[in-house]
Copies of this chain bind each other. A is one copy, B any other.
Amino acid sequence: MKKLALLLTWCVVAGAQTAPRAAVRAIIQELVLANRILANEGVVDAYGHVSARDDRNPNHYFLARHVAAGLVTAADIIEYDLDTNPVGGARTDGYSERFIHGEIYKARPDVTAIVHFHAPEVIPFGVSNIPLRPVFHMAAFLGEGVPVFEIRNSGGVTDMLIRTPALGHALAETLGDKPAALMRGHGAVVTAAGLHVVVGRAYYMKVNAKLQQDAMLLSGGKVTYLDP
């Protein structure tokens, strides 16, 4: 945790131009930073999002309105309940895939932070029969196995997006008790018990995907993975 805090520190110094007001809660400020870091490191682009469970009320969580992560400010953060109803009243500017977050928080009390992303490095594993496995220590958490969510099984032919609570629930079921899952033809979701940790996991999941592909090509598939 201490090391991952450095990543956050780095972002602040390196110039993420957030202007949190004194009254903004620490968790909101950190969520804004998490958005900026993920954008800065190429984990998310104009799409992809990160949420944090409310540390004072585990039945609520925080997620930005539909805006690119690299632009998120404290004013963009929406508070949701676990059915993904905005606590402050109905609004129309949420991410269409916000149900990913609510349904996972509902199913997984141990999870306090979630990233959904489309980094190009992870997509090939979701569309092939090659499991994503940990190649280096920074991605050791992948050693528990990375299930692949097939939206055809629960949603038939769709636009691939998790647009309903039911699809979010199906994704949470595929995730099970693992830290991360791939979504076929779409991207990935990664969870942790901590916002700092989930940012690091998303970043190193991306890096590990590239490493694994490189190692497999280099060696004809004879790769030594991490022990569980």
Residue numbers of A with Cβ under 8 A of B are: 2-4, 6-7, 9-10, 13-14, 46-47, 66-68, 70-71, 118, 120-121, 123-125, 127-130, 134-138, 140, 152, 157, 159-161, 184-187, 207, 210-211, 213-219, 222-227
Contact = CB atoms under 8 A, between A and B. Distances in A.
Given A120-B210, A127-B215, 14 more contacts: A2-B66, A3-B47, A6-B68, A9-B68, A13-B71, A124-B219, A128-B223, A136-B186, A136-B187, A137-B161, A157-B227, A185-B226, A216-B218, A217-B217
A105 to B, nearest CB: 24
A91 to B, nearest CB: 14
Contacts of A222: 128-129
A16 to B, nearest CB: 12
A138 B118 CA distance: 9
A120 B136 CA distance: 9
A57 to B, nearest CB: 29
B207 A124 contact: no
Contact of A137 (B129, B152, B185, B215): B185
Contact of A224 (B66, B128, B137): B128
Given A7-B68, A46-B3, A160-B140, A135 B185 contact: yes
Contacts of A187: 136
Given A140-B160, A160-B137, A128 B185 contact: no
28 contacts: A2-B66, A9-B67, A10-B46, A10-B68, A118-B138, A120-B207, A120-B214, A121-B214, A123-B135, A123-B136, A124-B211, A124-B214, A127-B135, A127-B136, A127-B219, A127-B225, A128-B218, A128-B222, A130-B218, A130-B219, A135-B185, A136-B185, A136-B187, A137-B186, A157-B227, A185-B224, A213-B218, A217-B217
